[in-house]
Every structure is written in structure tokens, then in C-alpha cells.
């Protein structure tokens, strides 16, 4: 009877562990989806003239642009500042680079398993639209590369012209988060 109870306890423990892991993954996906709804509302307030429209009262970020790739049905709000806290809610603009849609090189980052999971489907010559302040800029994808962040710095070079860099961790199906590899999609302004 003791062995039977032990096996039952182990099965229950394994079931609870599996439920916890699945629940955590579902929580992250749900948080990312809800954030995009709240960000959409803040984006609409910004478009109506509100300055620094926060998506929720305690937010330390604001929408700065809308990123679209029609061929992949991608439509996302880009946030200011690419801290880990901001990246949990959506793609984020590196404030050391040019504002998305303006002159210069702009860097936008996103998590490979939520907002930027679509990057694995992007092809050369795909068109990316960036909307900001009522104006839309269009970019053509010119390259996709994998870099090692320990050796190569992703920089918004001022001599590189008007371009957009979309950056996420790599590989897309990696078991652990982070790591040194980055997948970079480079697009040039049309």
C-alpha cells in the first residue's frame, strides 16, 4: 500500500509540475495578447493628439510607431525603450537609434517566442510599413543575418542611410531564453 501511495504522489507531483509549466507559457502568451489590445487603445489616443499616451496608468513606456507587414498579417504597436520590462509587452524601439520612420537607422527588438516570432517567416524583398505621427514609411527587406552579440554590436550607424533593423534572439525554437545569438532583419527605406 505504501508503494502505491508513493506512485500516486509522484504522478500527482508530475501532473502539477506539467500544469505549472503549461500555465506559465499560456500566461506569457495571454499577457502579450492583452498588451497589444491596451497598446492599440493608447495608439489611437496618440493619433487623436494625446501626448505620451500610456497604455495603462503605471506604464513607463508609450507607443511610438505601428509596424506592419501585410504579407504576413503582422500589425503591432512599437513601444519606447527596449528594456526587458517593455519587451514583455511588445516590440520596442532602441532609443539610441533613430525614431522608427524617421531619417537614419532605427532598431526595434522583440521576443522570438511572442511578438517577433514572425521574423522566421520574413523573406528578402518583403515590404515593412512603419506608421508614426500620421505618416507611413515603407522599407524593403534586404538581408536576414544571424550574429553573435558577444562579437558583433548591433548599432544604428549614421552612415548606413535610412534603414530599419528588426532584432530578436536566435534560434527561434531554442529551449532556453536569451543566449548570445541574434537574428537581424535589415530593411532599407523605399
Q: In the prediction, which pLDDT does 23 show? A: 67
pLDDT digits (tens, 9 = 90+) for 113-155: 888 999 999 999 999 999 987 889 999 999 999 999 889 877 6
Q: In the prediction, which pLDDT does 141 show? A: 97
E-state strands within the chain:
63-69, 74-80, 92-93, 105-109, 127-132, 135-148, 163-169, 181-189
pTM of the model: 0.81
Q: In the prediction, which pLDDT does 165 show? A: 96
Domains delineated in the chain: 2-189 (2.40.260.10)
Q: In the prediction, which pLDDT does 78 show? A: 93
Where the chain has pLDDT below 50, the residues are none
Q: In the prediction, which pLDDT does 174 show? A: 80
Q: In the prediction, which pLDDT does 109 show? A: 95
Q: CB neighbours of 117 closer than 8 A, spacing ≥ 6?
A: 111, 172
Instruction: Count CB neighbours of 158 within 10 A.
Output: 11
Q: In the prediction, which pLDDT does 175 show? A: 80
Amino acid at each position: 500500500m505504501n508503494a502505491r501511495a508513493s506512485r500516486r504522489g509522484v504522478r500527482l507531483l508530475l501532473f502539477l509540475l506539467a500544469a505549472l509549466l503549461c500555465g506559465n507559457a499560456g500566461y506569457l502568451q495571454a499577457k502579450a495578447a492583452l498588451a497589444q489590445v491596451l497598446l492599440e487603445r493608447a495608439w489611437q489616443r496618440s493619433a487623436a493628439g494625446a501626448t505620451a499616451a500610456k497604455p495603462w496608468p503605471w506604464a513607463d513606456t508609450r507607443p511610438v510607431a505601428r509596424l506592419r507587414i501585410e504579407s504576413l498579417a503582422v500589425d503591432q504597436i512599437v513601444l519606447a525603450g527596449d528594456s526587458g520590462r517593455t519587451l514583455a509587452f511588445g516590440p520596442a524601439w532602441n532609443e539610441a537609434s533613430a525614431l522608427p520612420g524617421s531619417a537614419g537607422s532605427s532598431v526595434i527588438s522583440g521576443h522570438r517566442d511572442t511578438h517577433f516570432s514572425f521574423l522566421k517567416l520574413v523573406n528578402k524583398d518583403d515590404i515593412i510599413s512603419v506608421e508614426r505621427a500620421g505618416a507611413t514609411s515603407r522599407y524593403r527587406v534586404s538581408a536576414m543575418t544571424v550574429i553573435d552579440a558577444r562579437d558583433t554590436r548591433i548599432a544604428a550607424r549614421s552612415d548606413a542611410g535610412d534603414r530599419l533593423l528588426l532584432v530578436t534572439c536566435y534560434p527561434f525554437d531554442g529551449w532556453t531564453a536569451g543566449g548570445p545569438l541574434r537574428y537581424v532583419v535589415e530593411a532599407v527605406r523605399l
